[in-house]
């Protein structure tokens, strides 16, 4: 009888775990398909109905997991920033200069552009300048910004680390958001930003 009671007692937990796993799987599928749609159509051209049709769900199911496509874009930016910050931190830990660390951020961003596509990276960067985002921006909102502040505080304690990090990020996001020149030209301008920001400290 005790064994039977124990088995019955475990059932609600198993059901909850299964439902949680299903929710997480559905959310992950929606996230992945939304990112693919961003790549195909750009942020502005992405339609929620096209995403849910591909995944085989209703529009309502999308909004159970996300407030809208803006939330997916913000989550993707956060994921990419963590990746970029980790790559640049490796350079910092290898005793790279401040300029080397800024350059490592640019290198990682251009790697993201190759992986995600130019259109999507431009949309990610442009999203930082929408009024509702820009008005509340803080370095703490950006893993890359936090990483840069940590590096700058250690390497050049005499500068305002937050101001310098935000100046660099604003310049980089701005160039990538509006610049539609060939890769070589964008790289030159980003390299110039790195040199100016490093020397201007």
Judgement on whether residues 79 and 57 belong to the same structural domain of the protein: no
Judgement on whether residues 158 and 114 belong to the same structural domain of the protein: yes
Instruction: Report the C-alpha gap between 51 and 141 in whole angstroms.
Output: 28
Judgement on whether residues 88 and 39 belong to the same structural domain of the protein: no
Judgement on whether residues 60 and 77 belong to the same structural domain of the protein: no
Q: Which two tokens stand for residue 10?
A: 């475990």
Domain termination residue (choose one: 47, 65, 83):
65
Q: Which of 94, 98, 85 is nearest to 154 (CA)?
A: 98
Judgement on whether residues 124 and 179 belong to the same structural domain of the protein: yes
Domain termination residue (choose one: 45, 65, 85):
65
Judgement on whether residues 12 and 37 belong to the same structural domain of the protein: yes
Structure confidence at residue 181 (pLDDT): 81
Structure confidence at residue 200 (pLDDT): 65
Judgement on whether residues 92 and 18 belong to the same structural domain of the protein: no
Judgement on whether residues 116 and 138 belong to the same structural domain of the protein: yes
Structure confidence at residue 18 (pLDDT): 84
Judgement on whether residues 59 and 74 belong to the same structural domain of the protein: no
Judgement on whether residues 52 and 104 belong to the same structural domain of the protein: no
Contact, 119 vs 144, CB < 8 A? no
Structure confidence at residue 133 (pLDDT): 62
Domain count across the chain: 2
Alpha-helix runs per DSSP H in 46-181: 48-55, 59-65, 69-93, 98-116, 118-126, 131-134, 143-155, 161-178
Domain termination residue (choose one: 28, 47, 65):
65
Domain with 192 in it: 69-199
Per-residue pLDDT of the chain (201 residues; tens, 9 = 90+): 455 455 455 576 776 788 889 999 999 999 999 999 999 999 999 999 999 999 999 999 999 999 999 999 999 999 999 999 999 999 999 877 999 999 999 999 999 999 999 999 999 999 888 766 655 567 778 899 999 999 999 999 999 999 999 999 999 999 999 877 888 998 999 999 999 998 865
Contact, 30 vs 57, CB < 8 A? yes
Write the CATH number for 58.
Answer: 1.10.10
């Amino acid at each position: 009888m005790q064994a039977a009671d124990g088995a019955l007692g475990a059932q609600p937990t198993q059901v909850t775990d299964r439902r949680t796993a299903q929710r997480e799987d559905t959310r992950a599928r929606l996230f992945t398909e939304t990112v693919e749609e961003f790549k195909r159509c750009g942020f502005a051209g992405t339609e929620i109905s096209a995403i849910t049709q591909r995944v085989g769900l209703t529009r309502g199911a999308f909004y159970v997991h996300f407030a809208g496509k803006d939330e997916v874009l913000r989550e993707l930016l956060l994921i990419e920033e963590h990746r970029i910050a980790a790559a640049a931190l490796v350079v910092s830990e290898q005793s790279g200069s401040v300029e080397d660390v800024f350059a490592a951020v640019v290198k990682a961003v251009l790697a993201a552009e190759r992986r995600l596509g130019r259109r999507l990276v431009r949309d990610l960067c442009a999203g930082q300048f929408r009024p509702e985002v820009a008005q509340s921006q803080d370095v703490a909102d950006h893993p890359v910004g936090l990483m840069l502040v940590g590096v700058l505080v250690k390497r050049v304690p005499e500068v305002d680390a937050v101001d310098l990090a935000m100046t660099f990020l604003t310049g980089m996001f701005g160039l990538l958001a509006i610049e539609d020149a060939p890769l070589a030209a964008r790289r030159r301008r980003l390299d110039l930003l790195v040199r100016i920001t490093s020397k201007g400290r």
